[in-house]
Structure 1
Amino acid sequence: MLIHTLIQYLESHRRLVVPQLGTFIVKEPGRSVVFSELLKRDDGVLRGLLRAEGMGELEAAGEIDRFVFEIRHAVEHGSEYRLEGFGVMKPGPNATIAFVYEPQPASESPAQEPAAGKRQPLQPEKVAEAVKTAFTEPRVSTSAKMNPDPSVRGLRYGKPPKNTDAYRYVDRVPRRRADRFIWIAVIAALLAVAAIAFGLWRDAREKQAENEYIELPQAAELPSAASQPEQLE
């Protein structure tokens, strides 16, 4: 079903993105279609087309995931994956995916196809609605992509997302090493101020004691000087 949707959409449009796989680009309508792995970000168009054909959100996402998984699995094992009536996906240089455009010959009439393989053509109104919905519906957040619905989780491929729960702090902000140095500097400054204050206080006490020591002999000499004239008379 997805291949049929892909073929019909590219008959009247220039490109179609298959999420996490790449983009099919029409260079010459009916003659040349190329594939690029550089553009693989989900723009929602393919999912919207499948939904326009009657699929639900999860069913459409699962259909796309299965399609991508089957292609990658075949290419990674050196096999080809044939898109009936459209072309072949096969291993390319440097572990890439190559595409060879092989459209269905015009001599083959639709009457020769099995009845089970016949599908209703895409209606322009549904295609326009699907494209409009793809660009107006809200984007799926990163957290939703990392934790997909259980019904489609088994279809994901590639490396699992890294989990950083072990590095998260709970109930408090982690202390920085700079705070420790700040506290040490503050304590050192307080100790220095206390030492200076103690030195000034000790100097003042010594000076006061020295002044008191000097004043005592002078006070003792005054009575003796006053008694000497009386003894001479």
Structure 2
Amino acid sequence: MTGLSDKTILITGASSGIGEATARELAAAGAKLVIGARRIDRLRALAEALGPQVAAQELDVTNPQSFEAFVAAAEERFGRVDVLVNNAGVMPLSPLAALKRDEWTRMIDVNIHGVLNGIAAVLPRFVAQQGGHVVNVASIGAHLVVPTGAVYCATKYAVWAITEGLRQEHAEVRATIISPGVVATELGHDISDPEVAAGLQLWRANSLSPDAIARAIRYAVEQPDGVDVNEVIVRPSGSPM
């Protein structure tokens, strides 16, 4: 493995959960970071706590211009970008029969378009510099479907497919997909169905802490040139799914 002190890493959805844990893990490893999310106050507090090698930038992943500004801010601050961690995501689970079209649209916009916007912002730069790494955080839902999760799982399968396509199309770009099982985070806080929300709490009775996923991300990005960790699935021990 190699050190991270010479890498500039972008992390989306960094104001809480897996994104925040990843920022803490990679900052401790010496990486230079630009962390992004909509909750800028939380980001600034995190950046201040982690030190001068970490910068905060407000980011709406569904907005291509916002993502371009995010990447440009990293280049202005640190000179280049080496890794993008596409972590931002939403999970308002519901039965299909509930017809929550607005929630379906939101998941597609954040979970799929957000990832594509990130790739579009960094890919020309990675091609030009003949190197770069895209880490997309998906879910165990990229590999299985559960009731109330049809649309969410579909978005995460799409992330899996996009990541595999990127790997095949660009030998100079490393592509990794991280698929967490159940993790104790804010994900799902926007579930509007009380019964589904209660069910999520039961699922989380056996869950990982976000730092477990952060360590998996660090493992992938620390590999030396020529080594591409394509996929990591991380579940709680004893998980039935």
TM-score class, shorter-chain normalisation, is under 0.3
Greater helix content: 1
TM-score by length of 2: 0.22
TM-score by length of 1: 0.22
Which of 1 and 2 has higher RCO (CA within 8 Å, sep 6+)?
2
